[in-house]
């Protein structure tokens, strides 16, 4: 088993994607004004408040995983100016996204619970003059760009390991030299983000969730479809590429990783949610417990997908 790339990187890549996806889900409700159909929206509350802590936690784990970063943390500051490294892109993206997420969460709380705002306002009269919703919209818009950057970065980080572990830098198609991992991780991040905010938090707290979000099954079906195609292409391109990439793909699809892949990724993350949302699209509604199960399946499969991709990466033979 890989000793360097295992559970810890899988968890922080997952947290990065989950936070970014949750932010995008909340920002979408903000832009479509759906958030304002109710006074306190649990979906935007979770999607605005949690990304900051989740991504920050992932970043702490990342620093913990970097041996030198832990022993000599000041060296991390050198990375801000090392522009030829993708790590520098990441450190800038995270440095902007985390504070923006925290501000977004703060503004969402202020908007949802105005009495807290008023209590603070008595002490700081300047705060009362702030147009909360307008600023929140700007923060959501700018933050969305960095959320996409964060989700893409989790994949770019892997694909940048490049020639050393060919499976991670597998291209979208054999003749299209665009790395697959950033795209796959972006779609997976959005899926897990919607899973946490809408499927889990929304279903738990909003009795009329399904009536409010009638297009949700369609969105889920589209995301599951895109993610399945990307995952299929990843394995196919890796097979065509041959060598260490093909061996990794074989391990996942038919080899020792196949049990985890089919039972813990494809079944709960693709097949079950696909069936649930296809039925929901046809019938108009489905049991809430089933919806919760589909949401949980998507989130857990997102984590396990990253783990399997990581542990299956085989270094090239030099």
Partner 1 sequence: MLPSNWPRWITVPIGFALAVVSIVFGLILVLSVEAFASSPEPTPTPPRIAYAAPLSGECTACHTDQEELRETSASEEEAERMYIELSQTESLHGRLGCVTCHQGTPDTEDIDAAHTGLVDDASVYFQEDCLLCHRELPDEYADDNLLAPHDAVVDGSAEDLTCGDCHGSVGHGYDPVTGEVIISMAACMECHEERDLDVACEVCHVEMAAWSPDTDCALCHMVPNVESLEDTSLLAYDHAQEGFACLDCHNDLEGLEQVHEYAVPGGPVSALRVEMEFCLDCHVANEHTSYEQVIELTEEYAINDEEINPHDPHAGLEQAEIECRYCHQMHKESPLINGCYGCHHERNFENCSECH
Q: Which residues bind partner 1 (CB under 8 A)?
A: 1-4, 7, 11, 14-15, 18, 40-42, 45-46, 49-50, 53-54, 75, 78, 109, 112-113, 163-164, 196-197, 200-201, 203-205, 207, 251, 255-260, 263-264, 288, 292, 296, 299-300, 303-304, 307, 311, 313-315, 317-318
- Pick 141 or 263: Cβ nearer partner 1: 263
- Pick 176 or 204: Cβ nearer partner 1: 204
Q: Give me the least distance between CB of 43 and partner 1, in Å please.
A: 8
Q: Give me the least distance between CB of 314 and partner 1, in Å please.
A: 6
- Pick 217 or 302: Cβ nearer partner 1: 302
On whether the CB atoms of residues 135 and 107 are closer than 8 A, the answer is yes
Q: Give me the least distance between CB of 241 and partner 1, in Å please.
A: 16
Q: Give me the least distance between CB of 123 and partner 1, in Å please.
A: 22
| Interatomic CA distance for residues 59 and 40, integer angstroms | 30
Q: Give me the least distance between CB of 296 and partner 1, in Å please.
A: 7
- Pick 87 or 303: Cβ nearer partner 1: 303
- Pick 156 or 303: Cβ nearer partner 1: 303
Q: Give me the least distance between CB of 126 and partner 1, in Å please.
A: 25
- Pick 107 or 233: Cβ nearer partner 1: 107
Q: Give me the least distance between CB of 263 and partner 1, in Å please.
A: 6
Number of neighbours of residue 92 by Cβ within 10 angstroms: 16
Q: Give me the least distance between CB of 119 and partner 1, in Å please.
A: 16
| Interatomic CA distance for residues 257 and 223, integer angstroms | 24
- Pick 2 or 89: Cβ nearer partner 1: 2
Whole-angstrom distance between the N-terminal and C-terminal Cα of the chain?
20
- Pick 203 or 233: Cβ nearer partner 1: 203
The neighbouring-strand residues paired with 176 are 173
Q: DSSP letter string over the chain? A: --SSSSHHHHHHHHHHHHHHHHHHHHHHHHHTTGGGGSSS-HHHHHHHHSHHHHHHHHHHHHHHHSHHHHH-TTHHHHGGG-TTSHHHHHHHHHHHHHHHHHHHHHHHHHHH-HHHHHHHHHH-HHHHTS-HHHHHHHHHHHHHHHHHHHHHHHHHHHHTTGGGSGGGG-EEETTEEEEHHHHHHHHHHHHHHHIIIIIIIIHHH-TTHHHH-TTHHHHHHHHHHHHHHHHHHHHHHHHHH-HHHHHHHHHHHTSTTHHHIIIIIIIIIIIHHHHHHHHHHHHS---HHHHHHHHHHHHHHHHHHHHHHHHH--PPP-
């Amino acid at each position: 088993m890989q000793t360097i790339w295992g559970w810890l990187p899988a968890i922080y890549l997952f947290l990065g994607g989950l936070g970014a996806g949750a932010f995008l889900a909340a920002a979408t409700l903000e832009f479509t004004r759906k958030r304002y159909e109710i006074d306190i929206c649990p979906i935007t509350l979770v999607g605005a408040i949690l990304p900051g802590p989740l991504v920050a936690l992932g970043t702490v784990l990342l620093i913990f995983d970097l041996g030198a970063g832990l022993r000599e943390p000041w060296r991390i500051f050198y990375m801000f100016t090392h522009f030829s490294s993708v790590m520098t892109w990441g450190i800038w993206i995270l440095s902007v996204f985390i504070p923006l997420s925290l501000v977004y969460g703060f503004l969402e709380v202020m908007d949802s619970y105005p009495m807290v705002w008023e209590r603070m306002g008595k002490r700081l009269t300047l705060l009362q003059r702030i147009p909360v919703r307008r600023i929140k919209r700007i923060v959501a818009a700018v933050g969305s760009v960095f959320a996409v950057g964060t989700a893409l970065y989790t994949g770019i980080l892997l694909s940048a390991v490049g020639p050393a572990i060919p499976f991670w830098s597998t291209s979208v198609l054999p003749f299209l030299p665009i790395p697959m991992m950033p795209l796959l991780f972006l779609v997976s991040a959005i899926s897990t983000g919607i899973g946490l905010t809408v499927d889990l938090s929304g279903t738990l707290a909003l009795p009329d969730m399904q009536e409010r979000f009638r297009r949700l099954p369609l969105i889920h079906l589209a995301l599951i479809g895109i993610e399945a195609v990307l995952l299929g292409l990843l394995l196919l391109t890796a097979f065509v590429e041959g060598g260490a990439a093909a061996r990794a793909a074989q391990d996942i699809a038919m080899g020792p990783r196949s049990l985890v892949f089919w039972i813990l990724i494809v079944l709960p993350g693709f097949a079950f949610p696909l069936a649930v949302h296809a039925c929901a699209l046809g019938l108009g509604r489905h049991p809430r417990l089933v919806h919760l199960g589909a949401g949980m399946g998507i989130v857990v499969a997102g984590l396990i997908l990253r783990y399997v991709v990581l542990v299956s990466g085989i270094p090239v033979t030099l």
